[in-house]
Amino acid sequence: MWFFARDPVRDFPFELSPEPPEGGPPGPWTLHRGRKKATGSAVSIFVYDVKAGAEEQTQVAKAAFKRLKTLRHPNILAYIDGLETEKCLHIVTEAVTPLGTYLKTRAEAGGLKEQELSWGLHQIVKALSFLVNDCNLIHNNVCMAAVFVDRAGEWKLGGLDYMYSAQGNGGGPPSKGIPELEQYDPPELADHSSRAVKEKWSADMWRLGCLIWEVFNGSLPRAAALRNPGKIPKSLVTHYCELVGANPKVRPNPARFLQNCRAPGGFMSNRFVETNLFLEEIQIKEPAEKQKFFQELSKSLDSFPEDFCRHKVLPQLLTAFEFGNAGAVVLTPLFKVGKFLSAEEYQQKIIPVVVKMFSSTDRAMRIRLLQQMEQFIQYLDEPTVNTQIFPHVVHGFLDTNPAIREQTVKSMLLLAPKLNETNLNVELMKHFARLQAKDDQGPIRCNTTVCLGKIGSYLSATTRHRVLTSAFSRATKDPFAPSRVAGVLGFAATHNLYSVDDCAHKILPVLCGLTVDPEKSVRDQAFKTIRSFLSKLESVSEDPTQLAEVEKDVHAASSPGAGGAAASWAGWAVTGVSSLTSKLIRAHPTPMPSEITVTQRPVPEGDAAPPAPAPDTPTTSSHWETQEEDKDTAEDSTTADRWDDEDWGSLEEAESVLAQQDDWSVKGPGSRAGQVSHSDHRPLESDWNSWEAEGSWDQGWQEPSSVEPPPEGTRPASEYNWGGAEPSDKGDPFAALSVRSSAQPRPDPDSWGEDSWEGVEAESRQMKAELARKKREERRREMEAKRAEKKATKGPMKLGARKLD
């Protein structure tokens, strides 16, 4: 039987890359790129070929193999595996690049920043301190060729070939025999007399000075060049001169050198070094320290190297969320780092964490996710959105915190294109109907209307026909003036989704009623939109052949291309009125009058009306839009990262303070018609089993309410000077309307009065219920009368008697 010897190189679990070697330290070692056969992960492989007649070099190489295998430190080259045969030595380490090659590559791309160099040198000095102070070992080979850089930009100390013990065990330092390495030897080594007094670290610290000179100035031509610091930073020159001093006794210990450089104003005293040091010790930090660190981290990430963010910061962020209960504070830096990832890396590393975060009940985390959704929405596929994200997001519509409800509405702009038929046309519309009809915050009702206008093009034709007209008509009845403006602009943004008949019979009657709205911004938008619809009808009237072209989108399944147009029509509303709900989570929830558009409701006769300040200029829609956008932009910039500073437990107190004020106007000495408080609202309903429920879109606005004749002396609207200023002796053209409204009976506290959203359908339901009750009562009386008549005719039957026909 024959036995064949196995080839150890072939069985080795790592293989060399076919690319040429990258070089390596001066000497017999060559550095190759490689990979692990099982996983394909990248590694570096140092190869030494055993040659005849080079026994001394072979012994040095084997000593380096043994040292690297036994030494473990974050700043020393990490050993993974090794192979020793009669022909070669293989040392497998983490994937690294020689420092000289790394600096040259980065110089072509603009060069390394000073903070990166400071951290790299910090790591090398820390490795030397570990060897000298903890292991009593002298490296004896500190130079540019002995330093390597990993993929995160971390500097690693290698080149352990000539290491020896500081205690003298095993003899003195091994002979190098390589001129390129001997030029880094300190001058005292040339003095063979015993008079030279030195410390065990003196030689390595001299070589560290040579390394610092090479990092900033390039290759060291000769030892005399060390006298000129060259490009070495001024904050480092003093400490550098201590390293290359002729007296070895005054060269500092590596630990003291670090301490000197870390002093305030020192070369290694900067945010980048502090961040790295915290990340190295993050496992032993207190939770409060971690929270503060992650809150401040996002501000610094823009100035940090991209590789450092991807390969060092990101793993720590993921670990902190997965095992450290860091919570919402990791979101902002996490998404910042995510910008450096490819689409594939984002899917593998960020998306699983995001999906898990949506299932959290932490309000701070939920609102941060909603605010920053645009940063990761493009990486989410439709099945993930519909099955793992949307079911959790919809809970925000029922949240008691107004800020959560508002951000949930805004997030639908990004989620709508990825929602399936059921979630978009049934589930989402059910929640939108509830918010628009019953939410006690005017800005949220306004934003719901705006969002519906933006996503209207994604709805099915049936849903559009059933929902849009009723929803925007309801918005025009809202007591909150911006909501009425949003309803008008909603009609304008989705004008291509209505048939000509709907424009003439359903939409224009609603818009015409707004031409006498008390708010000028509402009237202005109503006139613009009316002219747009009239132009559309007129074009069809002049040329009936255009009807098909005008109605081409009415019955289309969906027209995502129109979403952009809708967004541009109503883009102002989401940011223009969002300041109110964000104020509710602050310590002072009182809204400023200048930040909320207040609709003055009619004042009943006999009540004193507070004087309303007359604005210097009319409040047009464009003025309102610009003013609100500017306010919201300023507010967002100051509150974007303050969610964790707020006391979420005090929200109920803030809402109670707001409830003591008037929701729609500033509270005065006398009560006003239309005044609503939190206690006046009906309880919120969570059961939405059918569209016939209260607040449904189908409860139509098609039946016009009865119109009273105008009071005597009221001029038609065409006689007023709409474009210019009215003379001071003429009153407000809508004053008569206010007088007429104030003469009406005071509305019931449980209703919205004359401006009720329920309108005709509420009255119709009451009439039907009353009619049904009367019918039941009549039927009951009839049955009782028949029973009494039957009993009186036949009389009582005796016990045991048979009933005869």
Average pLDDT over residues 290-312: 90
pLDDT score for 575: 39
Q: Which residue in this structure is represented by tokens 């997001």? A: 393
Single-letter code of the amino acid located at 380? L
pLDDT band (50, 70, 90) for residue 528 = very high
Q: Which residue in this structure is represented by tokens 């002995």? A: 146
Residue 756 has pLDDT above 50, yes or no: no
Comparing 604 with 352, the larger pLDDT belongs to 352
pLDDT score for 649: 33
The encoded tokens of residue 23 equal: 């070089």
Please tell me the least confidently modeled range out of 151-160, 270-279, 413-422, 795-804: 795-804
Of 633, 618, 524, the C-alpha closest to 572 is: 633
Average pLDDT over residues 80-91: 89
Sign, CA dihedral 693-695-698-702, equals: positive
Query: CA-to-CA distance for 210 and 636, rounded, in angstroms?
Result: 51
pLDDT score for 392: 93
Q: Assign 3-state DSSP to the chain and report helix, strand, coil percentages, each to 5.
A: 55, 5, 40
Pairing of strands 88-94, 155-157: unpaired
pLDDT score for 730: 42
Single-letter code of the amino acid located at 89? L
Helices (H), 672-728: none
Comparing 518 with 636, the larger pLDDT belongs to 518
pLDDT score for 535: 93
The encoded tokens of residue 564 equal: 């952009």
Sign, CA dihedral 737-739-740-741, equals: positive
Q: Is 448 exposed, middle or buried (0-12, 13-18, 19+ CB in 10 A)?
A: buried
Query: CA-to-CA distance for 786 and 805, rounded, in angstroms?
Result: 20
Average pLDDT over residues 10-14: 79
Share of the chain above pLDDT 70, in %: 68
- Cα angle at 591 between 585 and 596, to 5 degrees? 120
Single-letter code of the amino acid located at 466? R
| Top mean-pLDDT range of 577-586, 650-659, 787-796 | 787-796
- Asked if 204 and 210 count as a contact pair (C-beta separation under 8 A), the reply is no
Residue 783 has pLDDT above 50, yes or no: yes
Comparing 458 with 571, the larger pLDDT belongs to 458
Residues 6 or more apart from 252 whose CB is under 8 A from it? 205, 239, 242, 243, 260
Residue 77 has pLDDT above 90, yes or no: yes
Of 98, 104, 75, the C-alpha closest to 144 is: 98
Please tell me the least confidently modeled range out of 195-204, 281-290, 412-421, 682-691: 682-691
Please tell me the least confidently modeled range out of 251-260, 357-366, 427-436, 454-463: 357-366
- Asked if 67 and 75 count as a contact pair (C-beta separation under 8 A), the reply is no
Query: CA-to-CA distance for 68 and 630, rounded, in angstroms?
Result: 61
pLDDT score for 187: 86
Of 204, 91, 199, the C-alpha closest to 143 is: 204
Query: CA-to-CA distance for 640 and 724, rounded, in angstroms?
Result: 42
The encoded tokens of residue 356 equal: 């898990």
- First-to-last C-alpha distance (Å) of the chain: 116
Single-letter code of the amino acid located at 110? G
pLDDT score for 503: 93
- Asked if 428 and 416 count as a contact pair (C-beta separation under 8 A), the reply is yes
Single-letter code of the amino acid located at 244? V
Helices (H), 192-249: 202-217, 234-243
pLDDT score for 693: 37
pLDDT score for 253: 94
Of 435, 400, 408, 441, the C-alpha closest to 653 is: 400
Comparing 692 with 765, the larger pLDDT belongs to 765
| 56-79 as b/e: b if 16+ CB within 10 A | ebbebbebbbebbeebebebbbbb
pLDDT band (50, 70, 90) for residue 632 = very low
Helices (H), 593-650: 621-639
Q: Is 157 exposed, middle or buried (0-12, 13-18, 19+ CB in 10 A)?
A: buried
Residue 119 has pLDDT above 60, yes or no: yes
- Asked if 118 and 155 count as a contact pair (C-beta separation under 8 A), the reply is no
Residue 335 has pLDDT above 60, yes or no: yes
Residue 748 has pLDDT above 60, yes or no: no
Residue 178 has pLDDT above 90, yes or no: no
- Asked if 663 and 589 count as a contact pair (C-beta separation under 8 A), the reply is no
Average pLDDT over residues 453-474: 92
pLDDT score for 192: 58
pLDDT tens, position by position, 607-616: 443 333 333 3
Of 464, 414, 448, the C-alpha closest to 570 is: 448
Average pLDDT over residues 743-768: 46
pLDDT band (50, 70, 90) for residue 764 = low
Query: CA-to-CA distance for 306 and 496, rounded, in angstroms?
Result: 47
Single-letter code of the amino acid located at 599? T
Residue 110 has pLDDT above 90, yes or no: no
pLDDT band (50, 70, 90) for residue 18 = confident
pLDDT score for 525: 93
Residue 546 has pLDDT above 50, yes or no: yes
Q: Name the 3-class secondary structure at 156.
A: strand
pLDDT score for 311: 92
The encoded tokens of residue 654 equal: 């803030």
pLDDT tens, position by position, 392-403: 999 999 999 999
Sign, CA dihedral 494-495-496-502, equals: positive
pLDDT band (50, 70, 90) for residue 86 = confident
Comparing 328 with 690, the larger pLDDT belongs to 328
- Cα angle at 415 between 410 and 417, to 5 degrees? 125
The answer, as to whether pTM is greater than 0.85, is no
Please tell me the least confidently modeled range out of 16-20, 70-74, 783-787: 16-20
Average pLDDT over residues 287-299: 88
Q: Name the 3-class secondary structure at 183.
A: coil
Comparing 240 with 621, the larger pLDDT belongs to 240
The encoded tokens of residue 217 equal: 């100035």
pLDDT tens, position by position, 404-437: 999 999 999 999 999 999 999 999 999 999 999 8
The encoded tokens of residue 72 equal: 């473990």
Residue 750 has pLDDT above 90, yes or no: no
pLDDT score for 410: 93
Q: What is the dihedral of CA 349, 350, 353, 357, to 10 degrees?
A: 180
pLDDT score for 767: 72
pLDDT band (50, 70, 90) for residue 671 = very low
Query: CA-to-CA distance for 419 and 386, rounded, in angstroms?
Result: 6
pLDDT score for 25: 58
Residue 222 has pLDDT above 50, yes or no: yes
pLDDT tens, position by position, 714-735: 444 444 444 444 444 444 444 4
pLDDT band (50, 70, 90) for residue 360 = confident
The encoded tokens of residue 378 equal: 């493009």
pLDDT band (50, 70, 90) for residue 175 = confident
Query: CA-to-CA distance for 705 and 703, rounded, in angstroms?
Result: 6
DSSP string, 542-567: H-GGGHHHHTTTTS-S--TTHHHHHH
- Asked if 25 and 36 count as a contact pair (C-beta separation under 8 A), the reply is no
Mean of pLDDT over the chain? 75
Average pLDDT over residues 467-486: 93
Query: CA-to-CA distance for 134 and 704, rounded, in angstroms?
Result: 90
Residue 792 has pLDDT above 50, yes or no: yes
Single-letter code of the amino acid located at 730? K
Average pLDDT over residues 183-194: 74
The encoded tokens of residue 197 equal: 């007094």
pLDDT band (50, 70, 90) for residue 445 = very high
Angle between the N-to-C axes of helices 481-493 and 520-542, in degrees from 0 to 180, rounded to the nearest 10? 20
Residue 743 has pLDDT above 50, yes or no: no
pLDDT band (50, 70, 90) for residue 328 = confident
Comparing 92 with 588, the larger pLDDT belongs to 92
Helices (H), 562-713: 562-576, 579-583, 621-639, 651-660
pLDDT score for 794: 63
Helix (H) or strand (E) segment spanning residue 443: helix 442-455
pLDDT score for 450: 93
- Asked if 206 and 243 count as a contact pair (C-beta separation under 8 A), the reply is yes
pLDDT band (50, 70, 90) for residue 554 = confident
Query: CA-to-CA distance for 99 and 103, rounded, in angstroms?
Result: 6
